[in-house]
Amino acid sequence: MAYGRKLRMGLVGGAGGFIGQVHRMAAALDGEVELVCGAFSSSPEKSRAAGEALYLAPERVYASYQEMFSRERERDDAMDFVSIVTPNYLHAEIAIAALRAGFHVLCEKPMTTDLASAKQLADTVAETGKRFCLMHNYSGYPMVKEARARIRNGSIGELRKIVVEYPQGWLAGDFASAGVKHQSWKLDPELSGGSCCLGDIGTHAFHLTEYVTGLRVAELCADLSVFVDYKPLEDDANILLHFASGARGVLYASQVSINDENSLAFRIYGSKGGLEWHQEEPNTLVAKWPDRPREIIRTGSGNAYLTPAALGTTRIPAGHPEGFVEAFANIYLEFGRAVRESAAGTASDEYDFPSVIDGMREVAFVKTAWESQRSRKWLPLPGV
């Protein structure tokens, strides 16, 4: 593959919160990427401090993403791609700027907070021919990929019922609590795009649903709630789903489900069998059959019964738990492959990471859910 060296990564954002650290760990894990520069904060001081803590060369720690893009493109050893981990409302403008400056982009979800900028970003990807990856890390777990592969090969038959849930409890308390404060932009309608729970975690659940099943949501009926009153945005969402195929589903997400940590899970039932997965025990996939015992399918490089989709994204033997960072790193690996193949001129049409089109669908999902809530009606999800 191209380059013959580690890919060079720049980072926008990431001085606060934990997601920046996760991106750095995931990028570093497999020795395929090195962080070479960053604009870590809108505060130049914070950005400089972050760069120093990361042992970066001081001249490659920038005060703004604009500065970073313009200075890096002049270097012989310029970054190859940029990862964007800022608050949601900045994703689109930075991504568009990066693409236009000639850099591939890996962007945290949600891609944008409105359909217009989503469309603009999609157009920019098409125009520039650069690689764009939307970070839905949960699709990086080997057992998620195993489930997807099994559904694709028909092992559980025609899909009938899908239950996807994503309960969390971190917004159940009052605003002053520490866990809430440092992510307070999520609660500001201007900055978060008019949605809290759906934008933050509902989009993960929605993407995971479509990714694993291969189905497309055709219409939905949403019931959104605000339980904790300091904020105008929903902290709980229960949504009925109709898929284009005729399958039915329930998707719910919540930030007031006390003590549920990050309990994303799916249960998918087909005409021949079922599959169940829980993110908090990510190395196990349960396969259900009508006439024989359920099976406990496990991540692990030695488990020869796994599909290539899982074996190719598992790093170590069974029983050595692979976690959140490894799943995240799988997205980086696949994105890195696309970047290298792009440089080599061998790029394929399809890579196994979320695309700009996936990002558009999830923006439409959030918008439609809110419209359904306001009208108390079933509404179609606009085709993308």
Residues numbered 46-75 forming contacts with a second copy, rule: CB under 8 A:
54-55
SS3 374: helix
Size of the site for a second copy (CB under 8 A): 92
Using the 8-state DSSP alphabet, how is residue 123 labeled?
H
User: With binding defined as CB under 8 A, does residue 302 bind a second copy?
Assistant: yes
Distance CA 363, CA 344 (A): 33
Q: Sort strands 104-108 and 159-167 into parallel, antiparallel or unpaired.
A: unpaired
Distance CA 47, CA 44 (A): 5
Closer to a second copy at the Cβ: 345 or 376? 376
The string of DSSP codes covering 18-66 is THHHHHHHHHHHTSSEEEEEEE--SSHHHHHHHHHHTT--GGGB-SSHH
Closer to a second copy at the Cβ: 98 or 222? 222
> Which part of the chain contacts a second copy (CB under 8 A), choosing from 41-49, 209-217, 321-329, 352-360?
321-329
Closer to a second copy at the Cβ: 64 or 225? 225
User: Can you say whether the dihedral through the CA atoms of 326, 146, 316, 30 is positive or negative?
Assistant: negative
CB 247 within 8 A of CB 162: yes
Closer to a second copy at the Cβ: 55 or 349? 55
Closest distance to a second copy from the beta carbon of 61 (Å): 14
User: With binding defined as CB under 8 A, does residue 13 bind a second copy?
Assistant: no
132 strand-pairing partners: 105
Distance of CA 44 to the CA centre of its chain: 28
> Which part of the chain contacts a second copy (CB under 8 A), choosing from 73-81, 124-132, 323-331, 335-343?
323-331
Distance CA 65, CA 210 (A): 33
236-265 residues near a second copy, rule: CB under 8 A: 236, 238, 240, 242, 248-250, 252, 254, 256-263
Among 196, 325, 338, 384, binds a second copy (CB under 8 A): 325
123-162 residues near a second copy, rule: CB under 8 A: 160-161
Closer to a second copy at the Cβ: 326 or 352? 326
Among 191, 221, 347, 357, binds a second copy (CB under 8 A): 221
Q: How far is CA 108 from CA 66, 133, 186, 322, 331, in A?
A: 18, 9, 14, 21, 11
User: With binding defined as CB under 8 A, does residue 366 bind a second copy?
Assistant: no
Closer to a second copy at the Cβ: 175 or 289? 289
User: With binding defined as CB under 8 A, does residue 5 bind a second copy?
Assistant: yes
User: With binding defined as CB under 8 A, does residue 281 bind a second copy?
Assistant: yes
- Estimate the crossing angle of helix 65-72 against helix 91-100, to 10 degrees: 10
Among 6, 71, 119, 216, binds a second copy (CB under 8 A): 6
Closest distance to a second copy from the beta carbon of 129 (Å): 26
CB 12 within 8 A of CB 38: yes
Closer to a second copy at the Cβ: 125 or 164? 164
Closest distance to a second copy from the beta carbon of 338 (Å): 18
Closer to a second copy at the Cβ: 112 or 274? 274
User: With binding defined as CB under 8 A, does residue 358 bind a second copy?
Assistant: no
> Which part of the chain contacts a second copy (CB under 8 A), choosing from 69-77, 185-193, 232-240, 334-342?
232-240
170-209 residues near a second copy, rule: CB under 8 A: 170, 172-173, 178-179
User: With binding defined as CB under 8 A, does residue 336 bind a second copy?
Assistant: no
35 strand-pairing partners: 9
> Which part of the chain contacts a second copy (CB under 8 A), choosing from 103-111, 281-289, 330-338, 359-367?
281-289
Phi, psi angle pair for 160, to nearest 5° = -115, -55
Terminal CA-CA length for the chain: 33
Closest distance to a second copy from the beta carbon of 192 (Å): 19
User: With binding defined as CB under 8 A, does residue 373 bind a second copy?
Assistant: no
Q: Which long-range contacts (CB under 8 A, 24 or more apart) does 269-272 make?
A: 269/156, 269/159, 269/160, 269/161, 269/162, 270/151, 270/156, 270/157, 270/158, 270/159, 270/160, 271/156, 271/157, 271/158, 271/160, 272/154, 272/155, 272/156, 272/157
